[in-house]
């Protein structure tokens, strides 16, 4: 079943020059790009995107980090796109949970700087795509 998912190459991924690497892995997996934009996000949008984490110890640092520089927002589509991209990304902690061969496992070292975001469910994907690409 074809799905859409919201992917972010976060500011650390952009500043480290990993945008092409991430897009290449998405395309080689067989997923398609439906929308893509380089953008610097404001605090309100960042808080909306990460609303589920509001109140957690890392929330303020997360918002500061994600607003701290340009990121690349992408809508990715294809069969089981949500799970497929989460698999490409690897676990949240690039060392504890991610495995080599994943984006985070290959390029990440710290949980705060784990390079990419991918929606975690159909509901999250719909909610997040509305935030980032309301016209889609």
Residues binding Mg ion (CB under 5 A)? 120
Adjacent-strand bridge partners of 76: 5, 33
Q: Residues 34, 4: contact at Cβ < 8 Å? A: yes
Q: How far is the CB of 50 from Mg ion (least distance, A)?
A: 8
Q: Tell me, what DSSP letter sits at residue 56?
A: S
Backbone dihedral angles phi then psi of residue 98, each to the nearest 5 degrees: -75, 150
Annotation-wise, does 80 bind a ligand?
no
How many binding residues for ligand DAT (CB under 6 A)? Answer: 9
Backbone CA torsion sign across 98, 100, 104, 109: positive
From candidates 120, 126, 131, 133, binder to ligand DAT by CB under 6 A: 120
Annotation-wise, does 28 bind a ligand?
no
Q: Residues 96, 19: contact at Cβ < 8 Å? A: no
Q: How far is the CB of 29 from Mg ion (least distance, A)?
A: 19
Question: For residues 127 and 70, what is the distance between their CA atoms, to the nearest angstrom?
Answer: 21
From candidates 117, 125, 128, 129, binder to ligand DAT by CB under 6 A: 117
> Active site residue: 25, 117, 129, 132, which one?
117
* Site residues (vs ligand DAT, CB under 6 A): 53, 58, 62, 92, 111-112, 114, 117, 120
């Amino acid at each position: 079943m074809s799905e859409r998912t919201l992917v972010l190459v976060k500011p650390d991924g952009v500043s480290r020059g990993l945008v092409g690497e991430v897009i290449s892995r998405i395309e080689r997996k067989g997923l398609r790009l439906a929308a893509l934009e380089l953008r610097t996000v404001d605090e309100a949008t960042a808080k909306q995107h990460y609303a589920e984490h509001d109140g957690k110890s890392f929330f303020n640092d997360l918002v500061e980090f994600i607003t701290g520089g340009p990121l690349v927002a992408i809508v990715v589509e294809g069969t089981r796109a949500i799970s497929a991209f989460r698999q490409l990304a690897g676990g949240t902690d690039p060392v504890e949970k991610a495995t080599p061969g994943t984006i985070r496992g290959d390029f990440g070292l710290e949980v705060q700087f784990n390079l990419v975001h991918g929606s975690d469910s159909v509901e999250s994907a719909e909610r997040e795509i509305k935030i980032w690409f309301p016209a889609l």
